[in-house]
Structure 1
Amino acid sequence: MKINKISCLIVTETKLQTASAKMIYKEYKDIMTWWSCDDDNHFSTGVGIIMNNDYAKYIIKKDITEGRALKLTLLLKGKIWFTIIAIYNFSNNSYKDEILEFYMKLEEILIAEKKLKAKIVCIGDFNASYDTAIAQQRANRKIFWKDRIFQILKKNVMIDINLIYHDKPLNTWNRSDKKSRIDYIWVTEDLVPDTIYVSTNKVHIFETDHSAVTVYFQIDDLFHTKQLFKKKKHNNNNLKVDYKKIDSQLWETYAEKLGKLLDKEKDLIDNVEISIKNINRIWNTIRDTFKKANNELPKKKGNPNKEVLPKTIVFYKRFLHKLSFILTNLTEKKIMSLNLTNYRECKKFTEKHYETISEICFKFAIDIDGLLDKNIKEFKEIVKIAFKLVQMNFAEENSTLNRKRSKIVLDKIVIEKNSVKQLISDEELIENELIEHFKSFAEKKLNSNETLKGRWIRQYSPKEDINECWYNEVIQPISESEWDHMIRQLANDKAPGISQISNEMLKHMGASMKSATLKLANLCLQVGDILEEWRHALLYPIPKTMDWINKTVETEKFIYEPSTALGTSPSSPNSQEGNT
């Protein structure tokens, strides 16, 4: 399983007794096994599931039908129910009553799981041929009683996943001159977008007349989803302003509120000596005024199930769902029931899904000339090609998100002084040690006071083609019109930074606050300095490939993200190209 990267292996007709099955893989600590055995008739029965511990940890329930079926229920993060049903149907048709009783039990299980909105995989040796059942239906004949298992599966919105990827799936059973496809993997329709591919391969590690049927899943949406309570906790602590609910009238009320609050501090802003200390006081007043006024704006909690993913991932996921829906309506039975072999009905169906198909075909440069005039088989082939391309690109784009996230929590660190190691957990001591570490963690400069030579002398010599007058206006006071123009040019939907003052707030702050912020910017130019809070930065330690062992030396470079008071990037106020 490790060599072939198999996460879950289902085996049927194991011919094992309970005592023998318990001993299998007993010494393996990284996998778990479950067995369904019939000790009185073990030579022609038996089902087993062997699963990697990474996924076995989600199992909350096991149900057994002696020697014939084994059901495992997994409860995944985000309250996702995932059910695996492994079955081994009777091979001898003389057991008709037992087979029909087994079908009734299977249907009861599927109905119960569907009520839980579970994603279901039904897999195993059905000892019945779906291809034969389809042929009987095409000929308007009654299907063989043993093939009713397929009707039960389809009734519960399940499909043969092999037919999604292959028009003519390979036979799975071969004995002398007899061949048939009797081993299947059926999944609920909502699982189709999470599949990547299905294959049928010869088994090499032991002798058998059956082939192995394999389904490959994209596991991120199933097993790597955040726990629901963590999502809710995160969103409860991070209320955001809901700008979609703010109309022009509410913005006017917001500006009036800012003005009234600012009037109370008018003396502090208007009559102040020019010094960096007083400028910091003015900024604190402006920042706190914004915070008080922000309480009047509508807030929203993020959807705990909403994913924040790259646009390409979202694009592919959206089309996986759309294309899988189209394919589930292009099965042989649906084609017959919808009369899609008829030219008019086929054209209606094609027109209905034309926008979806044309958009994805355009992206992958698939020729769709005359798409509306193609018959249903040609249209289905185009949809399948598009589906496979989306699957492959989705898997490739999503590969970077599969990496395990490493993080550093600076709640304790190990320091070494005079060859003695010490573990520190006090917050103040940790902060002081980190400050000292970052002062000295970079290597010493290699400058040996050597004089410049050659081209470097020319490089650092005064430039005759640069006129000093060009820079005279750089520190000129900012005009009201220039300040107003720069505020209006700010982009929406940007992170507000440490101050939590967003660009939308600046755009609607009113005349009084606009005048105050302009004065603050000009005072900074006059004193030739910036506010103390504007010097603050966000610090991100990046772990190396080895485990984090509370040593600051075990980190790569640190990323500093400067954040100015007004939530915009620090650049010259007079520069028309930058932000304020």
Structure 2
Amino acid sequence: DDPVHLRNYKKRIKRKKNNKNNNTINNNNNDNILNEELEDNINQTNVVNNTKAFFNMGTLNIRGMTKLKMMNIKDVLTKYNFDVLAVTETKINIKYGKFLMQEVGINKNYTMFGTIDNTNINSTGLLVFIKNNIANHVTKVQNHMGRILEINLNFSKHNKLSIISIYNKSGNSTEARNLQQTINQLVINMIKDTRRNQYQTMLLGDFNLRYAKYEKLKNRGVRIDNQLSIFKYLENHDFIDVHKDSLEIDDQQLMERFSTFSNYATFSRIDYIWMTNNLYNAVIKTNIVEYNRMDTDHKLIYVRLNRRIIISQPSLPTKIKRSYRIKYYYEELNDDDKQMITDTAAKELENRLKNYKPSNIEEKWNIYNHVISITKKSHIKHSEIKISFEKEDQDIKNTLEYRFYRYIVYIRRSLKKDKKFAMIKDNWKIIIKNLRSMIKALEINNEFYVLSYNFRKILKYTYLKEMKELYSIAYIFLNTEMIKRKEQKIMEAIAKRQQDLEYNQRHMIDNVMEREFKKINIDRLIVQDKDGEDILVTNEGEIKKLVANHFQNCAGSINCEKEIPAEWIDEYRPKEELSESTYDSVLAPITLEEIIEIGKMLPGKKANDEVYNLKGTILLPTTVLPEKGATVVSKMTRGVSQN
């Protein structure tokens, strides 16, 4: 889609041509129009070349990194102005990769993160290049097996991005399928962790899996192969295959121009960029580009996003999804069943550890945990129990700005989907009536073709372009409303924190430490007596005894000394020696200089000009002592709160 200025320019050109054909414009008007077009053309060039407007990401399988290929990577970084580029199958250790990066001069503008499995250096390796100004926000880097690299970026407290790059095992042997399954499970665990910590997530790289095969099995309604289950997980958790959705790729009848891998015999699509639904709303352009055939048999895939939304997007209230707890019916197992489950799990674990040797305790536990999980689900009867949560504040969803924003998103998506296009056409007058009423209420005075009650299929792409312009307007209105609400909440939080500091220090400390309190209120119980009759218990003391007895014995085991298995003894062996200075930095008192330094690191508009809220510390404005940054009025020590 073109930028707004470019669309307006094209419309003016079209009108000029029509007017010229009808001979309805005099020469003076023609001169004025040409002058306006020349001026707009200059403005368009500035918009297109404004790199701060876009956030560019891409991925490429390089099939072994060399100095010549690194030079070509440098050219690609410059040509497409990538903010993030993930390169897979590098086959070099990280030290040598940084040397090559420095040799060709990439390190001037980019920071490199990487991973490699030193035991399989010829079949693994990932490098991720991130622009220096973006890399400054990296808070966590995690890698597994030389095939997975997770990079977390925190742009603000409520604007966090997780980039997971993957290079999966190729091949169809039993060993390859088992390794693919392990890698997929590690990636799923990472995604679960990012979702718990409220990160927006991007997953990109060489999956070495064909979505076409998964789609075919899904459409036939048959069992999905374990190594393809990652596609099912992504779809079930609101992830979108960016190129498939935006380019309308049909994987069952894949055209070669949409393939990401090709050789002399065949072609397929095995490289992907998946992202969460919120991030997909920021997509401006996607493409699959031919790369140097001398370097690789893969293509470069990239996506261009709205930088303002990626880096500065205010977080909408998190929609709480219903969670489920799995209840296993252990009481229905007999001794033979238990022995069979134990043997099955031991055999599966032996096969996993034979194919892959974990390098640390975290990888080791992930393998054990996954084996236990799949064995239980396969052999033990179970059911899912819904877990309900308290509803979050829904005020923002009741505003006209939010409803207008979501309505525009809904119409845009429906116009893009062939299956929903007919439904949009049938209900067009109702949709436009609602849209007109919202636009009138928000006092938007622009004129749009899309507001006509007469639906014309030939104008589909015109509708889409105008809906994108309306989306920008809706986002501005929503952003403005959310900023107002955020400022109001900041002021209320500051007032509450000051009040707690004076009258309720315990609550303030709990709030600063972000302690989470969970409790269950049980005011009645139904139990069975010896004859199997139900009895209602309401006595508080008796309820406590019954609940305590239940949780002590519900697992069917007795509290006793457990023997540590041989494979875990090394992990639990006590340390022979512990340095006396290990905890010195933790126990040292917080200094005034440290507080001032943290205060300077806060965003410029974090609080107002009179009070700065810093985890329980109240500061005077910098105008009091500008050379020191701020003056402490009241501070919280590690002991009691004092003035």
- TM-score if structure 1 supplies the norm length? 0.44
- TM-score if structure 2 supplies the norm length? 0.40
Larger RCO, structure (CA 8 Å, separation 6 or more): 1
